[in-house]
Amino acid sequence: MDWNKDRSVRLTAVFVFLFAAALLSADVLGFIWIPWFISVTAIDKTHLPALAATVYTGSVFAWICLCAMFRLLRSIRDGDVFTEQNARLLRVISWCCAGACIVFLVSVLYYPPFIIIATAAGFMMMIVRVVKNIIQQAAGMKSELDLTV
Amino acid sequence: MKIIVNLDVMMARRKISAGDLAERIGITPANLSVLKTGKAKAIRFSTLMALCHELRCQPGDILEYSEEEED
């Protein structure tokens, strides 16, 4: 198969789109699956509003991340990879991961296994921040290189 | 402190157009314009060499150091 950079970007866009569709379904069908989740886990029924708050607050961060990812993919497709704008988008994603980490860390109070999601989000925040620092440094170098004759 | 590019002065002395010079030294007219207007952050030795060769001058004829503050 003749695999190239454009196809890889398109595949990533498809994954992001599928995730957005899944998230939309989860948001719309929350009134069905959140009570079901409570029934299959050890969460007390009185924590239903808290779980809904966790899910929907986390969803807000996820939507912001997805929008940033779509914009990132669009600029990568256009060939603008090392730009300040992309570094800003990565910063937004990293702060969203931090936000999700805090939300799930608080949610550990009523459902301890959420510590796994909080840890994953915190770890993801660190990875994205490192990538953001790399892109920021590269953007500076690129602007200098662009003005080298 | 800044480096002033006196390329337009040398070009006028040698009576050569920007398009001609760009073609002879193998850079784009847009890049030559960046150099002429002082927007360039760096110049390659190869570009400087080609400029000096085509304009029959020394690097000091094209570049000048000034103590004045940058704009």
Question: What is the complex's ipTM, to 2 decimals?
Answer: 0.73
Mention every residue, 6+ apart, whose C-beta is less than 8 A from residue B2: B65, B66, B68, B69, B70
- On chain B, the residues whose CB falls within 8 A of the CB of A140 are none
Q: Where are the domains of chain B?
A: 2-66
Does A147 contact B34 at a Cβ distance shorter than 8 Å? yes
Q: Does A1 lie at the interface with B, CB-CB under 8 angstroms?
A: no
Give the Cβ contact number of residue A41 at 10 Å.
11
Report, as an integer, the average pLDDT of B24-30: 92
Q: Does B5 lie at the interface with A, CB-CB under 8 angstroms?
A: no
- Identity at B12, one-letter amino acid code: A
pLDDT category, A92, cuts 50, 70, 90?
very high
pLDDT of residue B38 exceeding 90: no
DSSP A46: G
- On chain A, the residues whose CB falls within 8 A of the CB of B40 are 147-149
Least Cα separation, residue A3 to chain B (angstroms): 33
The rounded distance, in Å, linking the Cα atoms of B32 and B36 is: 6
- Which structure tokens are listed for A143? 């602007």
Does A144 contact B47 at a Cβ distance shorter than 8 Å? no
Q: What is the model's pLDDT at position A2?
A: 54
Least Cα separation, residue B27 to chain A (angstroms): 8
The rounded distance, in Å, linking the Cα atoms of A96 and A101 is: 8
**What Cα–Cα distance (Å) separates residue B14 from each residue in A39, B9, B10, B50?**
87, 9, 6, 15
pLDDT of residue A1 exceeding 60: no
Does B40 contact A147 at a Cβ distance shorter than 8 Å? yes
Angle formed by the axes of helices A84-107 and A48-77, to 10°?
170
Instruction: Give CATH for domain B2-66.
Output: 1.10.260.40
The rounded distance, in Å, linking the Cα atoms of B19 and B57 is: 19
Least Cα separation, residue B67 to chain A (angstroms): 22
Least Cα separation, residue A148 to chain B (angstroms): 5
The rounded distance, in Å, linking the Cα atoms of B1 and B19 is: 30
DSSP A93: H
Q: What is the model's pLDDT at position A3?
A: 66
Mention every residue, 6+ apart, whose C-beta is less than 8 A from residue A85: A75
User: Which tens digit of pLDDT belongs to each residue from A46-82?
Assistant: 999 999 999 999 999 999 999 999 999 999 999 889 9
